């Protein structure tokens, strides 16, 4: 059996890698805090920030009405999130409804 030399850049990524994933996780946590602050106790039962990809914050919601409310507040949320991050990392919010209710459970 022949083994290849491990290419760190190819497997982890030339730009980003683990440190970028850690930053993204921290930014998602900031977004969760902002959702709680903006919409109050229990809001994370209806809307849950899950990821940031390509400068888009993805929030899972349980109902289209929740999505509408978040999107109406998107400018305020994006501005507050970018202020907390320290630079304009997020430019848009996307709300998605999980395909199955079981996906909502943690």
The reported pLDDT for the residue numbered 17 is: 66
Is 12 within a domain? no
Is 54 within a domain? yes
- Residue with tokens 């890698």, as numbered in its chain: 17
Is 93 within a domain? yes
Number of domains in the chain: 1
Is 17 within a domain? no
Instruction: Give strand pairing partners of 48.
Output: 60
19 falls in which pLDDT band (50, 70, 90)? Answer: confident
Is 5 within a domain? no
Residue 88 contacts by C-beta under 8 Å, 6 or more apart in sequence? 82
CB-based contact 28:89 (threshold 8 Å):
no
The reported pLDDT for the residue numbered 9 is: 47
CB-based contact 62:24 (threshold 8 Å):
no
More confident residue, 87 or 100: 87
34 falls in which pLDDT band (50, 70, 90)? Answer: very high
67: closest CA among 47, 52, 41, 51? 47
- Say if residue 86's pLDDT is above 80: yes
12 falls in which pLDDT band (50, 70, 90)? Answer: very low
Phi, psi of 61 (to 5 degrees): -130, 155
Is 87 within a domain? yes
Is 23 within a domain? no
The reported pLDDT for the residue numbered 18 is: 73
Structural domain of residue 62, as residue ranges? 44-99
Question: pTM to 2 decimals?
Answer: 0.78
Instruction: Quote the mean pLDDT of the chain.
Output: 84
Is 70 within a domain? yes
The reported pLDDT for the residue numbered 8 is: 45
The reported pLDDT for the residue numbered 70 is: 96
């Amino acid at each position: 059996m022949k083994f290849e030399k491990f290419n760190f850049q190819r497997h982890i990524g030339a730009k980003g890698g683990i440190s970028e994933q850690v930053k993204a996780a921290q930014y998602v946590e900031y977004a969760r805090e902002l959702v709680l602050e903006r919409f109050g106790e229990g809001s994370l039962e209806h809307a849950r920030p899950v990821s940031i990809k390509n400068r888009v914050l993805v929030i899972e919601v349980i109902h289209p009405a929740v999505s509408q409310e978040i999107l109406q507040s998107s400018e305020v949320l994006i501005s507050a999130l970018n202020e907390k991050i320290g630079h304009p990392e997020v430019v848009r919010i996307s709300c998605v409804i999980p395909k199955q209710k079981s996906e909502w459970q943690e």
